[in-house]
Structure 1
């Protein structure tokens, strides 16, 4: 990114990141939905008051997952700050958990992935729809 750019350049809402890795049992699973809003320089993080929770988890587990996701987001944005100005408020809107495969490390990775997904949304044009080749016409 260019030195003059600031992240995020505009509000990026509903950025979803799913970290799912099947490498045996237990596996890794975390699902987060995050908003990135332009803000004061630095990183402000909060969990939405009406955090949506998909799946079953007790409140203590959810608190650990939220903390881990915030850590991953801050780590990834910290690496970005060396190249560009980071001035962002991050709001965690939803988490998806799996009874066996969710754990804090997976949520940390999902947080990092959410930042990467937001960067793609912010700085790369959306993919163009592929043209379908028309079938040869029979006369």
Structure 2
């Protein structure tokens, strides 16, 4: 008898998942703060930006670049989750997690000097990790540190 353990990520709506990437190791420094919602969706990853994600004093093109970097970080981290699921299925059939999520970027905060797309890319990766922790608890082994 086989026990079905397949689940979908996220198992329930996760609202207000906060991700902060702050690195001060001299110049240049990096800073990004983002709040996103993770909603169950059809299989795959859908990324949206809420209308509230504007930054006073920054052009629409600059803010769009930050949004795209955040979305790329989310997709990269979820791709790692999908790859880990394929490895789990290869060793234990009917085991793993299906990625079926809509991510809505609700708000961002920037630093006038230290914010850059790379920081938002890392914040996107961190948002996925925070959502996983909120949904399933801490991992059995720590994640590797972000660069």
TM-score computed with the length of structure 2 as normaliser: 0.79
Structure with the bigger percentage of strand: 1
1:116 to 2:129 alignment: yes
Name the residue aligned to 1:78.
79
CA–CA distance in 2 between the matches of 1:36 and 1:117? 11
Alpha-carbon offset, residue 38 of structure 1:
0.2
1:96 to 2:109 alignment: yes
Contact 1:21 1:28 in 2 (8 A): yes
Contact 2:9 2:98 in 1 (8 A): yes
TM-score computed with the length of structure 1 as normaliser: 0.83
Contact 2:54 2:63 in 1 (8 A): no
Unmatched 5+ stretches in structure 2: 86-96, 139-147
Following TM superposition, the consecutive aligned residue runs of length 4 or more in structure 1 with deviations greater than 6 angstroms are: none
Tell me, what secondary structure is at the counterpart of 2:112? coil
Larger radius of gyration: 1
CA–CA distance in 1 between the matches of 2:114 and 2:5? 40
Structure with the bigger percentage of helix: 2
Name the residue aligned to 2:16.
14
Tell me, what secondary structure is at the counterpart of 1:33? strand
Alpha-carbon offset, residue 57 of structure 1:
2.4
Unmatched 5+ stretches in structure 1: 126-139
Tell me, what secondary structure is at the counterpart of 2:106? strand
Alpha-carbon offset, residue 60 of structure 1:
1.5
CA–CA distance in 2 between the matches of 1:3 and 1:110? 30
Alpha-carbon offset, residue 50 of structure 1:
2.7
Alignment length (residue pairs): 123
The CA RMSD over aligned residues, in Å, is 1.7
